[in-house]
Amino acid sequence: MTTVMMSPMHRMELLKRIADNPSIPSPPPMVMRVLEKASKPDTTVAELSQLIQVDAGLSGKVLRIVNSALFGLSRPASSVQRALAVVGVNSTRLLLLATCLPEMWDPKKMAPQLRQRYWRASVAGAIVAHALSQRMRYRDAEDDMAAALLRDLGELILSKLHAREMDEVFREPAEALVESQCDLEQRRCGMDHASVSAFILDRWRLPKEMTEAIRHHHRAAGGSYTTDISERRAWLLEFASRAAYLLLYPEQTSILQALQKLALERFRMNDETLHQFLVSLSRKMAEFASLLQVDLGNFVDFESILARASEELVRLSVAASSEGQKAIELTRRAESEAQRWRQEAVFDPLTKIFNRRFLELKLNELCGRTEPHLGPWGLMFIDLDGFKPLNDRFGHPFGDLVLCEVANSLNRVVRNGDIVVRYGGDEFCVLSESIDEDGLYALSKRVWQAINELRVIQGNSEGRVGASIGAVCQRPGNKCGSPQQLLAAADRAMYAAKATGKNRIVFLDSPDLIASPPPAPIEPQEVRR
């Protein structure tokens, strides 16, 4: 084993030499100009958009990112200035820097092992950080996502300058890496990737709230921070990093245990809530990787990993028990747990979207909220019009294809974090948090349009369907009752749409869904009640 001992002053000199090393890639000149311009406090959206528009490639990248599902815009931004107005100057510069990484560090030129490790961890961490930031109602979710995507930049730099030493680090047991990666890097390279990342990003004039958080993202508890934002972001990044480790080393149950502990203590998520949160992100990771144009390889989703880890944790408990009766009881529990995972899967096997059980679990959580600051949320109940004739005419395989295409269309138009569910048969639901009446109404129209524009072709068979949609909005503290009562309200609104000629929307925005009378039959295609 190679061990490097170095004083703090020597380490700082080495960091400066790394920053000035011509072999270390830096952002493209235009991106650096944008970063420099955006770092000035008096820079306006108009000035920055004018600069970006000079470069067609950069303009396209901004529009592609902002119009992606991550931002969930009600209508696409048609210009760079509109895109910047939506996300803000700071978020734009950070996302630009983050998404130019594949250009700076060509994945095709990286060693396969490093490539898959780095991009899997970076993409997973970014999506987890973004979703958790939204869940915690932080105001700068895009900045949190960018910080998570940039946090391990130092790994690429150290692997380029200290290839042999970093190979030694990555060959360490998974548990040692998770808990002590920075210490291992310090001993072998004289510095750790978190410090290198923070130093380089500081040289690129990124905000201190970001560089401080990145410097301490493996040990948030021991960091020194100048702002509250730095500290809370460091904890967020530590959570994202541990979730990424879970994907990198799925066989290590100790990683799941540590993540569960962190989730409960810092983010008020019990084991079941953590499971629901993580499994909802797999699709977003694939979409984000495609947006960055990086290949994640044979990527295993969170659902499979968590199911396997849960069973293994119970099995280990059984193995550790020396008492006969206790061992029998633990075995029984292990079998019961394994059966629960098999029988209570949260995904629909046909469409690969969430199923009715997952929707009911989320509704139980939302219906129990009373804190006003958590904001409103909404539910759509969607019934396909014209599906049965297609199914009867062309057969069940074609009908199954239609259902899958509808599911794909819904996933494309909903916002990041929205939950798309196959409720049963040709019925679907969309559950949206942090959305008011106007937002839910706009989203319902996008969903209706996406289904109506869908054209399914298989061989000589071609079919189209419509959608009758019932939408309801709810705020914490209102009498929403049970999940069943909320679903019944959305269902009533959907049947009102059916009763007026089908293929339309009925929107129920009463504050008290239990007491609300059924919507009266109406004629317009889109109606608010």
DSSP string, 32-49: HHHHHHHTSTT--HHHHH
**266 and 235 Cβ atoms separated by less than 8 Å:** yes
Packing angle of the helix pair 396-413, 437-453 (nearest 10 deg): 140
Token duo for residue 78: 């048609």
Cα–Cα distance for residue pair 378/142, rounded to 1 Å: 23
Residue-level pLDDT, tens digit, the chain, 529 residues = 454 444 555 566 777 777 677 777 777 888 888 878 877 878 888 888 888 888 888 888 788 877 877 666 667 788 888 888 877 777 777 777 777 777 777 666 777 677 778 888 888 898 899 889 988 888 788 889 889 988 998 898 888 888 889 889 988 888 888 888 999 998 888 889 999 999 888 888 788 889 999 999 998 988 889 999 999 999 999 999 999 888 888 777 788 888 889 999 999 888 888 888 888 887 778 777 877 777 776 666 676 666 666 555 555 555 555 455 555 565 566 556 555 554 456 788 888 888 888 888 888 877 766 565 567 888 999 999 999 999 888 888 899 999 999 999 999 999 888 899 999 899 999 999 888 888 888 899 999 999 999 999 888 888 899 999 999 988 766 655 677 778 888 988 898 888 888 899 988 755 444 333 334 433 334 444 4
In a 3-state reduction of DSSP, which class is residue 363? helix
> Of 250, 458, 483, 472, which Cα lies nearest the Cα of 376?
472
For 143, residues 6+ apart whose C-beta sits below 8 A from its C-beta are: 90, 91, 94, 210, 233
Q: Which amino acid is located at 365 in the chain?
A: E
Burial (CB count within 10 angstroms: exposed 0-12, middle 13-18, buried 19+), residue 301? middle
For 16, residues 6+ apart whose C-beta sits below 8 A from its C-beta are: none
Q: What is the pTM of this model?
A: 0.59
Phi and psi for 283 in degrees, rounded to 5? -65, -40
Token duo for residue 55: 């470069």
**Bridge partners, 471 (sequence order):** 380, 507
**493 and 381 Cβ atoms separated by less than 8 Å:** yes
Cα–Cα distance for residue pair 30/59, rounded to 1 Å: 11
CA angle, 264 then 265 then 266, to 5°: 100
Q: Which conformational region is residue 422 in: left (phi greater than 0), alpha (psi within -120 to 50 degrees), or beta?
A: beta
